[in-house]
Amino acid sequence: MKLFPRIVWIVRAAALTVSLAGVLPCARAQIPCPHLALGVDVSFLPQAEAEGTIFRDAGKAAPGLDTLHAHGYGWVRLRIFNDPKTLPNNLAYTLAEAKKAKALGMGFLLDFHYSDDWADPAHESTPAAWQGLKHKQLVDAVYTFTRDTVQQLRDAGVPPDMVQIGNEITSGMMWPDGKLPDNWDNFTDLLKAGVRGVYEASDPAHKPRIMIHIDQGGNKTTTEWFFSHVLAAHVPFDVIGQSYYPWWQGSLADLKDNLDFMATHYKRPIILVETAYSWKPDNYVKKPGPYPETPEGQRAFLEALVPVVLATPNGLGRGIFWWEPAVRGPLARRGLFDDEGNSLPALHVFDACMQ
């Protein structure tokens, strides 16, 4: 992963180590250069560009990933489905985008959904090919699929630097076998199988960090409930991933409270692996967030978020990933480009970090 010389506190792709050297202010004095793993989930970016979307920054067209990287984002997050029928995120598609990211020197976070479609707390469907399997068979299937996927990425020269075992798995995964709260033993068996698959396929000297990801950025109670069970089952993992959207996961004060709790109790790095804010009214969101749904309101949200993460005890707030910054359709309301593909003010928050 490329390390920019004036970034003084950055999470390295291979080891999440911390180095200290100084402080660089960003363009606006309110926040320092964050020195975090700054990432983007660009799982729909290749599809958007293939369908004709052109992304522009200061009026100049450029590949979307190049533009995001030029504005300080040093990681990509890419989701993978088992056998998607209506969405593009299969292995070949994911591998191609991972190659582009690695060529730019970016870190690569692989997000296993273990589903043929979206997996989140309301939809954790077992892949069609695995439906009807007994628990032990499902455990074996998770192990084999994970191992083979990571091995193929490694063989292609793009081994992931970090791997999520499931996506927003607060309610479990691969329902009904791993559904929570009823099937904790089954669920943790599935997690362990995924971790084992990652380790089996990885270079022992450069194992990816393992992330466990839930959608409770501002909810300390549910976070404690979930991770107390995972830790009691001795699931091996390195990083806590949280989603934080203020209209769903509470205020920045709620987020800070939970970050403080996680850092104090779990003593593991924490990454906000999904966050975003709307730059124009979003019909999908019933409860408005604390900032105007405008381009400047979106920027204000990100500028307010960074100090909260940086204030996490013991330096354990390690990253912020913007979800789908370059995409078409309704989801573009939370992106970092407008409907015509022009960059928005929030894209420029970390510009000084590249100087």
Average pLDDT over residues 45-51: 97
pLDDT in tens, 194-215: 999 999 999 999 999 999 999 9
pLDDT at 11 over 50: no
C-alpha angle 267-272-278 in degrees, rounded to nearest 5: 160
Q: Cβ-count burial of 262 within 10 angstroms (0-12 exposed, 13-18 middle, 19+ buried)? A: buried
- The Cα 264–Cα 258 span in angstroms is 10
227 vs 286, more confident: 227
pLDDT at 146 over 50: yes
- The Cα 135–Cα 47 span in angstroms is 35
Given 168, 200, 296, 340, the catalytic residue: 168
Q: Would you state the pLDDT for residue 23?
A: 29
pLDDT at 3 over 50: no
pLDDT at 28 over 80: no
pLDDT at 169 over 90: yes
pTM, two decimals, is 0.91
Average pLDDT over residues 179-187: 98
pLDDT in tens, 83-129: 999 999 999 999 999 999 999 999 999 999 999 999 999 999 999 99
Whether 92 contacts 152, CB under 8 Å:
no
Amino acid code (one letter) for 302: L
pLDDT band at 21 (very low <50, low <70, confident <90, very high): very low
340 is catalytic: no
Main-chain dihedrals φ then ψ at residue 42, nearest 5 degrees: -115, 35
Average pLDDT over residues 37-58: 97
Which DSSP state fits 11? -
Q: Would you state the pLDDT for residue 354?
A: 66
- The Cα 74–Cα 326 span in angstroms is 15
Q: Would you state the pLDDT for residue 355?
A: 57
Whether 43 contacts 79, CB under 8 Å:
yes
pLDDT at 10 over 90: no
Domain ranges of the chain: 37-354
Average pLDDT over residues 326-331: 90
pLDDT band at 4 (very low <50, low <70, confident <90, very high): very low
pLDDT band at 329 (very low <50, low <70, confident <90, very high): confident
Average pLDDT over residues 2-13: 32
Nearest one of 278, 330, 324 to 79, comparing CA atoms: 324
Give domain 37-354's CATH number out of 3.40.50.2000, 3.50.50.60, 3.20.20.80, 3.30.930.10.
3.20.20.80
Least-confidence region, from 2-6, 82-86, 268-272, 309-313: 2-6
274 is catalytic: yes
- The Cα 141–Cα 353 span in angstroms is 43
pLDDT in tens, 280-293: 998 766 777 889 99
pLDDT at 15 over 90: no
6 vs 193, more confident: 193
Q: Would you state the pLDDT for residue 194?
A: 99
Average pLDDT over residues 224-242: 99
- The Cα 169–Cα 178 span in angstroms is 10
Given 97, 124, 274, 293, the catalytic residue: 274
